[in-house]
Amino acid sequence: MLILKKKTAELLAAAVKEKFGEGLLSEEEIFSGLEYPPDSSMGDIALPCFRLSKALRRSPVDIAAGLAEAIRCDEFASVTALKGYLNFKIDPTAFSARVVNDVATLGDKYGSPKSGEGKTVVLDYSSPNVAKPFHIGHLGTTVIGHSLKLLHEFAGYKCVGINYLGDWGTQFGKLIVAYKLWGDKEAILRGGVDELVKLYVKINNAIKDEEDASLAANPDGEKHSELADASRREFTKLEHGDEENLALWRWFVDVSLAEYQKTYKLLGIDFDSYKGESFYTDKMPAQVEKLREMGLLEIDDGASIVNLEKWNMPVCLILKRDGSTLYPTRDIAAAVYRYNTYNFDKAIYVTSAAQSLHFAQWFKVVELMGYEWYPGLVHVPYGTVSINGAKLATRTGNVVLLKDLFAEAISRVYDITKEKHPDHDECMAIAEKVGVGAIVFYYLSNNRMRDINFMMEDALSFDGNTGPYVQYTYARTCSVLERAGTKGEMTDAPLGEVEFELAKCISRFPERVAAAIDEYEPSLVTRYILDLAAAYNRFYHECKILSCEDEKIRSSRIALTAAANQVLRTALHLICMQTPDKI
């Protein structure tokens, strides 16, 4: 459809020139004014002429009439002027054949905007904090991030996916103290991150108790905790390379990562780099030095900061009073390292909107430091996730772990499929794909900035706009093709409205992909999948495919099914969904 829209704009630009004179409207201006009318009985593409009135100094009605006269093209069945609109009707059979043939020739490349060829993008996403829970708050960064990676790869970008693990910081001092006091190696080997989180929660509570007790004993004094002091000492030892602490730290990171990997595997995600926060420790001093040399640092109550008042932002903290570095300091050093390593055109960071200010601040600092690549830095924020029903709450308090969310979805789908097909031995494999897909699809159906209240029942339903429904539709196309035993071929048999609607929907895929990349919005692909599934299901119910007596029509309908099958598969993969061919 995009190609046709472009071509329409081209024809119109020529017609404007012929009818009304040179230099009045560019092809781009015309292109951006073209619309797809909601009711296609009017036309398949339309140009509302109201906005052109000023530039062309004529009434919309005159403009539409004049242009209708000047356009000549066999792509269109008709071009008519109606009340200030210019309506283009496409020849359904020729158009559908072209679209279906395009899909057949390009295969899984169909829809690629090719806008990324020769360019590199690094994507920083997921990035959980070791020994803290990997919870539903991370669902957004994980699936939006990975989907953006897949979309960029699809557009031809060279992509580097980075998991910037939170693997450094004072929490490791606490964890080391807790482990030395109460730790049980066997329990951690068995229980993984959950055990680490328990230790972490336990020491935090113990510190709080000590502090409260110290305040109760001396209400005017400063709060104090032995355990907090010990934690600081252990972290300092770790920073200085103490072997015992380093070995513990490495073990904690490995245990955590091994567990995150299980979730990544379910989602089909892997990263090109796991360089976490610890990796950048020795890369910060050079950036701090540069800031100081450039006169960008100010001392504020003993801390070193960059003043961002001119840009209406609070100060960016670079060094604490005790000289230790902060979150922005590390991000700046990491960005410099990544630019030097990957020479990126874009560096995308996907985090919750709660971190928007942090990114705006340090992006500004990078600009002030004179790094010419600062315009390539992009922050992609997303809204909050909450969950209905207490059933999913975990032992770790009120957070819902991602692995529990997926496990719950998988087990529910398993029960349903097992009931329907008791002798099906692939039930578990299918339940994994459908259960995980249901969560991903539900999450990615919404505009990313929207706050989501997760409803498990809704996500898993087979008859709503859900993951299971679209996967089922995909499986339906597979089954038609399997029974047909051929991919069909478009013929000159005239097509009806329903088939034409399906072809038009297929033709819109490339522009939806392009928009999803431009807006960093995977939900545009999700919603496209729903449109395509609806168009295919309508076609499936209203048109005989395999039982159609007319051989030519049957062949065209099979070919339409093959095209829908290809585009559904491509689109589902772009939003991290699997495509089982049977459900």
| Shortest distance, position 163 Cβ to ligand ARG, whole Å | 9
Give the CA-trace dihedral at 234, 238, 244, 249, to 10 degrees: 100
| Region label for 121, one of left (φ > 0), alpha (ψ between -120 and 50) or beta (otherwise) | beta
Residue 461 near residue 412, CB atoms below 8 Å? no
Q: Percentage helix, strand, coil, to 5, in the chain?
A: 60, 10, 30
Is 95 or 342 the residue whose CB approaches ligand ARG more closely? 342
Instruction: Enumerate the β-bridge partners of residue 351.
Output: 381
Instruction: Identify which of residues 87 and 127 has a Cβ nearer to ligand ARG in the complex.
Output: 127
Q: How many residues bind ligand ARG (CB under 6 A)?
A: 9
Write the burial class of residue 87 (CB in 10 Å: 0-12 exposed, 13-18 middle, 19+ buried).
buried
Of the candidates 113, 166, 173, 467, which one interacts with ligand ARG according to CB under 6 A?
166
Which one, of 496, 527, 499, lies nearest residue 511 by Cα? 527
Q: What does the radius of gyration of the chain's CA atoms come to, in whole angstroms?
A: 29
> Residue 551 CB, nearest distance to ligand ARG (Å)?
58
Q: What is the dihedral of CA 320, 324, 329, 331, to 10 degrees?
A: -130
Closest approach of Cβ 183 to ligand ARG, in Å? Answer: 24
Q: Is there binding between residue 351 and ligand ARG (CB under 6 A)?
A: yes
CB of 276 to ligand ARG, least distance (A): 9
Give the C-alpha separation, 311 to 303, whole Å.
20
Taking the least distance from each CB to ligand ARG, the nearer of 85 and 168 is 168
Q: How far is the CB of 329 from ligand ARG (least distance, A)?
A: 11
Among 85, 95, 110, 164, binds ligand ARG (CB under 6 A): 164
Query: Around Cβ 444, how many Cβ atoms within 10 Å?
Result: 26
Sites for ligand ARG among residues 108-127 (CB under 6 A)? 124, 127
Q: Residue 47 or residue 399: which is nearer to ligand ARG going by CB?
A: 399
User: Whose Cβ is closer to ligand ARG: residue 127's or residue 556's?
Assistant: 127
For ligand ARG, give the closer residue by CB, 98 or 132.
132
7-26 binders of ligand ARG (CB under 6 A): none
Instruction: Return the number of the residue (99 or 333) whose C-beta is nearest ligand ARG.
Output: 333
79 vs 335, beta carbon nearer ligand ARG: 335
Going residue by residue from 126 to 145, which x/- string records binding to ligand ARG, judged by CB under 6 A?
-xxx----------------
Closest CA to 75 of 165, 160, 7, 147: 7
Nearest approach, Cβ of residue 129 and ligand ARG (Å): 5
Positive or negative: CA dihedral 566, 568, 574, 577: negative
Based on CB atoms, which residue is closest to ligand ARG, 48 or 169?
169
Least distance to ligand ARG, CB of residue 350, Å:
8
> Least distance in Å: CB of 399 to ligand ARG?
13
* Alpha helix segments (H runs only) across 448-578: 456-460, 467-484, 497-507, 509-518, 523-542, 551-574
Q: Which of 342, 349, 442, 540 touches ligand ARG (CB under 6 A)?
A: 349
> Taking the complex as a whole, how short is the minimal distance between the CB of residue 371 and ligand ARG, in angstroms?
16
The helix (H) or strand (E) run that includes residue 437 is: helix 427-444
Q: Toward ligand ARG, which CB reaches closer, 169 or 183?
A: 169
Distance CA 263, CA 267 (A): 6
The structure tokens listed for 166 are 């939170």
Closer by beta carbon to ligand ARG, 128 or else 437: 128
Q: Does 331 bind ligand ARG (CB under 6 A)?
A: yes
Give the span between the Cα atoms of 96 and 507, in whole angstroms: 9
Q: Is 344 in the site for ligand ARG (CB under 6 A)?
A: no
In total, the chain counts a number of residues equal to: 583
> Which residues have CB under 8 Å from 73's CB, separation 6+?
7, 11, 79
Residues that bind ligand ARG (CB under 6 A): 124, 127-129, 164, 166, 331, 349, 351
